Structure 1
Amino acid sequence: MSGSGAAVLAWALLAGALLPAPPVRPQPLPRGDRKVQEKEAQFNTTYIDWVDANLLNIYAFNHSVRRNRTEGVRVSVNVLSEHKDRPVLFVVRQKEAVVSFQVPLILRGLYQRKYAYQEVSRTLCQPQTKAEVETQHFYVDVSTLSLNTSYQLRVTRVENFVLRTDERFSFNATAAQPQYFKYEFPEEVDSVIVKVTSAMAFPCSVISIQDILCPVYDLDNNVAFIGMYQTMTKKAAITVQKKDFPSHSFYVVVVVKTEDEACGGALPFYPLSKDASPDEPVDQHNRQKMLEVMVSPAITSEAYVRSVLFCLGIFLSFYILTLLIACWESCRQHRRKGLLAAMDSPSLDTGHSRSIPDSFLNHGPYDSYGYGSFGNGSSSSTEGVTDSLGSAEVSYSYVGERSLENVASRPRLDSLSSVEEDDYDTLADIDYDKNVIRTKQYLCVADLARKDKRVLRKKYQIYFWNIATIAVFYALPVIQLVITYQTVVNVTGNQDICYYNFLCAHPLGNLSAFNNILSNLGYVLLGLLFLLIILQREINYNRALLRNDTHALECGIPKHFGLFYAMGTALMMEGLLSACYHVCPNYTNFQFDTSFMYMIAGLCMLKLYQKRHPDINASAYSAYACLALVIFFSVVGVVFGKGNTAFWIVFSVIHIVATLLLSTQLYYMGRWKLDSGILRRILHVLYTDCVRQCSGPMYVDRMVLLVMGNIVNWSLAAYGLIVRPNDFASYLLAIGICNLLLYFAFYIIMKLRSGERIKLIPLLCIISTSVVWGFALFFFFQGLSTWQKTPAESREHNRDCILLDFFDDHDIWHFLSSIAMFGSFLVLLTLDDDLDCVQRDKIYVF
């Protein structure tokens, strides 16, 4: 051999020594070492047998399958020995699937807790057949690695495996003995609702809708892998559409969970005995639940069309009614103008105003009408009367400076481009003038309407533009988020994400509850109608200014429309965001449904205050900042407020302090200062008014309102601190609504005490709106679902549709509350129409 050949051979031997040896293929056990027993088995026969490590039992079954008839086959086993460390393995071999499970069956719960079940029953899925009749075979293999183990085996046919439409079927289920049934869509049915009920709240169970596939996921640890599913205590309902299942059939799977924590139940103590190890499975024998299932046809497409037309018809009728009233009012105004032209004697007070009696100079403005004040009858100075021409609506200060002819000849629609919001007053000594005017005992609207109308118009227009900006930046991420929620629900099938009224949830496209979204249309349409009404009023007012109409210039409550536009926009946004919330209502997005409710309540209070205090009303920036703070507390309260004592203490203190500060602001008309000397001034006032001389408050009527307001707010703060309601968002909204109602009632009472009257249209609006609010609140408190509980507990409150088989109680709340809000806005708009021909120095401030 040459030298090179020897070298190659040496390298080959060395490489062979370094490489690992090839694996040795294990040799199968001889047939004599492991026995295989195959037995021909029959249905409905109980086989008591044994198995060990050296024995494999095979049971061969066969049955006839018909193409037009579906039968379920159920395998039930019970292991009699207690070797939990070496379970018995059962393998069921079918035509298109293999199902295997061990006994004891080990299922895991929360925190990886283990639960063992000795008795196990499983239903076999039935493969489809194209032949008219086909004999199918399946085998049950039983094996173990333990010593001699006894067991029972029984295979039966499932009666009523196919559910019939509108027929109830009762059955029992456990965690190790799940049940599922098949439902086939009839030809004329496109959608059905599967309702499962139980008289027992616990044990917690899961309802799943799955396609006709093998294997069927029917255990607690895999039921969520496919299809749609819900947790359940006493009620569950899932709407199923034929188009989602190619075979036009599906399985209804019912599984009992190993623990009740998912349904709001208590987590059991674990381990159950002192000697038990945390890793040792716990036996569960009594977790059995009786249930009842029924499949009913859902509504047809004609019901969708009928419901949409019904919804549109209701709210479009308001447009028609408004148009008819506008035409009637226009005709009435034309007749009135013709009558005045015929008389040729126009007057500011003709038929509508009243003159100030001489006693007004010596008595309070309310005493002149024989009503008296709430407190001691105290006299006022002649400062209570101010010439109406002092109003800034005419851009001039006093009659001595300008004649009425010069005032009337001035154009009223000035450009706003050169006017800044900081240009508050036209008086040089404005600070002194504010102290003189606003601290009078009795005020008229002319005293608080002295600012330039162009400045005020721009100031209140900011309300509209700010809320429009807020709406855009708020709504876009909300829409994106709820679309993501709906996508997650559709992809995962987890219907516990959203808190619908599942007994009346009608899907459309990708939306799971179209009816809850459609019913919010009223907010949008009526909000738009209110904006159109405000636009028409503003156009008429601007035309009157161009005509130099004396009534528009010097009479009535000063017309500012910015807050009305903001209110209409807020109503439309409430509808949009409520619809977004109802795409997938749950714990994390509830503030979408309430944010603009806070804004509506706040804007209504500001508008009511603006009517008599146009010069000193809050700016848009401070108002929206306060509303943003309210929404912030709403979110914090929903997330951290439940059972948190520290949060409730802090919130109650802030609530009371804010009430006191606002009361001081309203009582002194803003003529006070929060600085280091505030305590000294408070003590001085208490000493002079309460100690040195015991005299009543200077502004009695204002004091009555503020005392009542403080009583209400302090009571609400105490209620929150003591009861700590779970629904903090609704509690916060109740605070705003109570304050709004209190102020509105005070306004109505003071208006009547001042000798003013309520015209027919606002009176009808007040009465009808109150009735509608009453019915709306009745349907609101029905409580069809609640995200304060678990999804399973929330479904216990679900109820069937009550209107057109399409709308539920909450949808009717949407209808009625949108109408009631629209009516409330009309009340604010028309409440002071009786003062349109009354000079502003004869309209009292309260």
Structure 2
Amino acid sequence: MIWYKYGAVTRQRQVTIISAKVGTEYNNQSSHDSEAHFVYRLDLGNFPPRTVRIRAEVRPNISPDHPLRVTIRSNQGTTNWNVPLLVNSVKINYMERTLCLLDDVISSPDRQEITVVVSTSSRNKVDFTLKLFEVEDFTTDMNQVSSLTGVDTATPVYRFVNLQPFEKTALLRVKVTSEDQDVCALISIQPYLCPVLDMERTVRFRGSYQSMLEISSFIIDPDEYEHVTTTEFPDECEITSSNEATDAPASSQNIIKDQTDIEQIENGKSKPRPKYVHELATTAKDREQLKLFKRMFQRSDLYLWLVLMMGIFYTIPAIQLMLSYQDKLLTSGDQDICYYNFLCSVPVGVVRDFNHIFSNIWYMALGILFVILSAYRKSVHLKFITELAKVDPAEVSSEYGIPQHFGILFAMGYAMVFEGILSACYHVCPTSENFQFDTTFMYVIATLSFMKIYQFRHPDIASNAYKVFFGLGLIMFFEVMGIFFGTTLFWILALVTYFGLSLVLTSIIYHSGRWSLDWKIFPKLARASYKVIKQRDFHGVSKKRLVLVIILNLINIFFIVYGAVFQPGISSFLLGIFIANLLTYAVYYIVMKVYHKERITWTTVIYIVLGVICWIPALYFFVSIKASSDLSPAESRNLNGECIVLDLFDNHDLWHMFSAAGLFFCFMMLMSLDDGLFYTPRDQIHIF
């Protein structure tokens, strides 16, 4: 025994030095005036691939106010921890850690001395158990499954992977799975540097990390990691599902049993005027009528310029924000920031999920193609009118077919392009906060499609584009408020506003645009309702449009009830409202064409069939989600799945492809929907 004094302290402390053996369990005592030193001399010839772990345990009656302090001294410095460990007011009476010996092997290849000092401030004797033992399966090789058991808050575990033999050009995927889906773990990938940061309070300072319930996946670059450790221990996760996962510290029985796998990834004359302008010029009785008619076409073209301006000014800050997210992801190592499908995430350069960005090229390509086809159709139409005017000017002045407006068609094509750009921005780092990037231009596309259908039979009363886009701006404002302040008060205000707007807009539709969107519409609506309900005066009531209005209001009432009861994600909720109203109006329009026996061309029928063929698989892949920002990061990773096409694309990529094609064929259907009326006199065309 050795006796010594602390500087000016007069109290003496007894030190017991024990020459300890690896694999032997020691039962001993410590108090405020005595401590034990366990000296281990290790033969480092076998480290790695093997290493040692140390476990210290005390009796349940030991107070965390005076814990047992375990200090480990080696060439790397000093590491220490306390037992019992207090986590979320739960006391854990043991602690187990793996010792980092890599640098010791390099500096002292023969033998290494490790001293474990056990002490306490308790005046009562503290009984403890101490054991240092070898870890036989410390290393993990390529394509090898390494099983871990008994991992909990007090027993973090890490494994060593030597990446030196592998090609530096290849990317590596580390996949971790767990059988215990109710216990959340924190998985870390970091260079093997001593000391290894294997505690919850330190692991976020090096490498990359993810929270996990059932599955976790990393892609790493061997150029950044000469050696790798995979560190795993339970962590407190934010659970959003109805069956909440249990925090690991709550019980020592919450044990993680998982598997880790690492695999390689393979790498002069005035222009002739259009037919409809010529018609008006030859029949208008005064200049004011001519100005009014020209404004109608200027309104249609205005949609195009507003879409372009909105897209540009919306995309620029979106790109800035995504670059900020990407930089934060790379510098912090926190892979819980972005909701990727980590099992099918293909990195290219600094972009961590290139495949989900690339698959949005279908929106952009097909959007540009639709703009080209719209320009071609406009060119052909103007050429036809010009040639017809040369042959029979009187025929040009006749009124046939639906007036051709191309402004909204161009706007629809460019909106599809911006949908692809902003969806790509969203997929740089998907989160619930930036999900609106992926949906905003879906709102625009739905609105433009609705306006185009309405414009077919009401070309002279097309809605003012400024009012339409002002309304879209208000909707996006409500969306932002819903994302960050989705309280009950918000939902009450939003749903009341939604109900009022649905009544106003359906009233405008019913009265075929004779009512304009202004404050006078509310007394008009009240008087009309009183006339029909109280006085039972049904004179002038259009039964067909009344059916449409009733169906639209029933659908919107359904969404109001659904939103009030479930308070879902605001972006998806709004998108559902837009799509449901658009589909209802489109079906009503086609049914009315069939009812009035209007000819639908085979080209239109083919577009409808092709659209349905594309939308069926698109919707299947859409609902087969592989990540969800509505859940916690760990819960979202439980949904992750492998790539299903070319080891490059997953379900969501296929949703991008099929939905882009479906949108394109729907656009083509709208463009050609009334081609069968081209030679029909306008006074014989029904308005509905």
TM-score (norm 1): 0.73
Aligned to 1:216: 196
Partner of 1:770: 612
Give the corresponding residue for 2:232: 254
Query: Does 1:295 find its partner at 2:140?
Result: no
CA contact (8 A) 2:64 2:86 kept: no
Corresponding residue number in structure 2 for 1:497: 337
Question: Retained in 2: the 8 A contact 1:705–1:746?
Answer: yes
Q: Displacement, 1:391?
A: 5.6
Identity percentage of aligned residues:
32
The residue that corresponds to 1:241 in the other structure is 221
- Equivalent-residue separation in structure 1 for 2:588 and 2:251 (angstroms): 66
Deviations 1:803-830 (A, max 9, x none): 1121111111111111101111111111
The CA deviation string for residues 721-746 of structure 1, in whole angstroms up to 9 with x for no partner, is 3x324222212211111111111111
What is the letter of the counterpart of residue 345 of structure 2? A
Q: Secondary structure at the match of 1:634?
A: helix
Deviation at 1:683, TM superposition (A): 4.7
State the superposition RMSD in angstroms: 3.2
Match in the other structure for 1:802: 644
**Which stretch of structure 1 is more off in the superposition, 652-661 or 39-48?**
652-661
Q: Deviations over 1:14-43 (max 9, x none)?
A: xxxxxxxxxxx984679x944443332111
Could you say which residue in structure 2 is the equivalent of 1:426?
Answer: 290
Question: Using the alignment, how far apart are the partners of 2:240 and 2:303 within structure 1?
Answer: 46
Using the TM superposition, give the Cα deviation of residue 92 of structure 1 relative to its aligned residue in structure 2, in angstroms: 1.3
Question: What is the SS of the residue equivalent to 1:547?
Answer: helix
| Partner secondary structure for residue 90 of structure 1 | strand
Q: For each residue in 1:649-672, what CA deviation from the matched residue of structure 2 results, as whole angstroms up to 9, or x when unmatched?
A: 333332232222222222223334
1:171 corresponds to which residue? 149
Distance change >3 Å, CA 283–CA 542, structure 1 → 2? closer
Task: State the distance in 2 between where 1:596 and 1:298 align.
Answer: 38
Give the partner amino acid of 1:297: E
1:271-286 alignment to 2 at 5 Å? 285-286=251-252
CA distance in 2, matches of 1:700, 1:816: 38
Distance 1:715 1:88, change over 3 A: closer
AA paired with 1:595? T
Correspondent of 1:734 among 576, 579, 583: 576
Q: Distance in 1 between matches of 2:490 and 2:64?
A: 50
Structure 1 residue 121: Cα displacement:
0.7
Do residues 150 (structure 1) and 116 (structure 2) align?
A: no
Q: Secondary structure at the match of 2:620?
A: helix
Pairing 1:573-592 to 2, within 5 Å after superposition: 573-592=418-437
Of residues 40, 44, 50 in structure 1, which corresponds to 2:19?
40
Which residue in 1 is equivalent to 2:100?
Answer: 125
Distance 1:652 1:97, change over 3 A: same
Query: Greater shift after overlay, 76-85 or 667-676?
Result: 667-676
**Match 1:140 to one of 105, 116, 120:** 116
C-alpha change, 1:149 and 1:753, in structure 2 (3 Å) is closer
**What's the CA shift string for 1:669-690, capped at 9, x where partnerless?**
3334767797588557855x67
Aligned to 2:75, the other structure's residue is in SS state: coil
Structure 2 residue 624 is the aligned partner of structure 1 residue 658 = no
1:395 correspondence with 2:395: no
**3-state SS of paired residue (2:255):** strand
Equivalent residues of 2:16, 2:35 under 8 A apart: yes
**1:206 aligned residue:** 186
Tell me the CA shift for residue 197 of structure 1.
2.1
Deviation, structure 1 residue 538:
2.0
Closer, same or farther: CA 692–55 of 1 in aligned 2, 3 Å: closer
Query: Secondary structure at the residue paired with 2:600?
Result: coil
Equivalent pair of 1:785/1:794 in contact (CA under 8 Å): yes
Q: Which amino acid is the alignment partner of residue 844 of structure 1?
A: H
How far off its partner does 1:765 sit? Answer: 0.7
Match of 1:528 in 2: 368
CA offsets, 1:595-644, max 9 Å, x none? 111000000010111122111011210111122122222222333336x1
Of residues 658, 674, 685, the one that matches 1:832 is 674
CA distance in 2, matches of 1:40, 1:762: 89
Alignment check: 8 A CA contact 1:390 1:396 kept: no
Kept in 1, the 8 Å contact 2:153–2:249? The answer is no
Could you say which residue in structure 2 is the equivalent of 1:58? 37
Tell me how far apart the structure 1 counterparts of residues 52 and 446 of structure 2 sit (CA, whole Å). Answer: 62
| Distance (whole Å) between structure 2 residues aligned to residue 121 and residue 793 of structure 1 | 28
Task: Answer with 694-703 or 73-82: which moved more.
Answer: 694-703
5+ long unaligned stretches in structure 2: 268-273
Give the Cα–Cα distance (whole angstroms) in 2 for the partners of residues 681 and 286 of structure 1.
Answer: 66
The corresponding residue for 1:484 is 324
Instruction: Compare CA radii of gyration and give the structure with the larger one.
Output: 1
Cα distance change, pair 552–507 in 1 and its aligned pair in 2 (3 A): farther
> What's the CA shift for 1:747?
1.3
User: Pick from 469, 494, 503: which aligns with 1:624?
Assistant: 469
Is contact 1:236–1:502 with CA below 8 Å preserved after alignment?
yes
Q: 2:603 aligned to 728, 744, 761, which one?
A: 761
Q: Are the counterparts in 1 of residues 176 and 260 from structure 2 also a CA contact under 8 Å?
A: yes
For residues 74-89 of structure 1, what are the structure 2 equivalents within 5 Å? Answer: 74-80=53-59, 82-89=62-69
In structure 2, the CA distance between the partners of 1:833 and 1:670, relative to structure 1 (3 Å rule), is closer
Structure 1 residues 522-549: Cα deviation after superposition (integer angstroms, max 9, x where no partner): 1111111111111212222233344354
Is the 2:188–2:230 contact (alpha carbons within 8 Å) kept by the matching residues of 1? yes
Distance (whole Å) between structure 2 residues aligned to residue 283 and residue 517 of structure 1: 39
Contact 1:500/1:584 (8 A) holds in 2: yes
Aligned counterpart, 1:70? 49
Tell me the distance in 2 between the aligned counterparts of 1:263 and 1:160.
36
Deviation at 1:267, TM superposition (A): 11
- Show structure 1 runs of 5+ residues with no match: 1-24, 270-281, 302-388, 403-422, 428-450
Secondary structure of 1:242 counterpart: coil
Please give the alpha-carbon distance, in whole angstroms, between the structure 1 residues aligned to 2:237 and 2:127.
32
Are the aligned partners of 2:296 and 2:462 in contact in 1 as well (CA < 8 Å)?
no
How many pairs align? 665
Alignment deviations for residues 383-436 of structure 1 (CA, whole Å, 9 cap, x no partner): xxxxxx99654233549x89xxxxxxxxxxxxxxxxxxxx97339xxxxxxxxx
Residues 83-128 of structure 1, C-alpha deviations (whole Å, 9 max, x = no match): 5333232221222242212222345x5xxxx544321111001224
Per the TM alignment, residue 562 of structure 1 is displaced from its structure 2 partner at its CA by 0.9
Hey, what's the Cα distance between the residues in 2 that align with 1:232 and 1:41? 38
Is contact 2:173–2:219 with CA below 8 Å preserved after alignment? Answer: yes
Structure 1 contact 65–136 (Cα < 8 Å) conserved: yes
User: How far off its partner does 1:756 sit?
Assistant: 2.1
Structure 1 residues 37 and 708: alpha-carbon distance in aligned structure 2, compared to 1, 3 A threshold: closer
What amino acid does structure 2 have at the position aligned with 1:662? Answer: L
Q: Is the 8 A contact 2:48 2:139 kept in 1?
A: no
Task: Report the more deviating stretch, 92-101 or 796-805.
Answer: 92-101
Query: What is the aligned partner in structure 2 of residue 442 from structure 1?
Result: none
Matched, 1:180 2:158: yes
Aligned to 1:366: none
AA aligned opposite 1:801:
C
CA contact (8 A) 1:616 1:670 kept: yes
Give the secondary structure class of the aligned counterpart of 1:74: strand
Name the aligned partner's letter for residue 99 of structure 2.
L
Helix, strand or coil: the match of 1:293? strand
Matched position secondary structure for 1:496? coil
The residue identity in structure 2 corresponding to 1:764 is I
Please name the residue that 1:558 is paired with. 403
808-817 or 550-559, which deviates more = 550-559
Output the CA distance in 1 between the equivalents of 2:80 and 2:152.
Answer: 18
Partner in structure 2 of residue 705 of structure 1: 548
Q: Which residue of 1 aligns with 2:270?
A: none
Q: Is the 8 A contact 1:61 1:139 kept in 2?
A: yes
Give me the whole-angstrom Cα distance separating, in 2, the residues matched to 1:126 and 1:602.
Answer: 64
- What do the CA deviations read for 1:759-783 (whole angstroms, capped 9, x no partner)? 2221111011012111111110112
Shift of 1:695: 4.8
2:379 counterpart of 1:539:
yes
CA drift of 1:843 comes to 2.7
**Which residue of the other structure, out of 225, 240, 243, is the alignment partner of 2:205?**
225
Residue pair 1:66, 1:131 contacting (<8 A) in 2 also? no
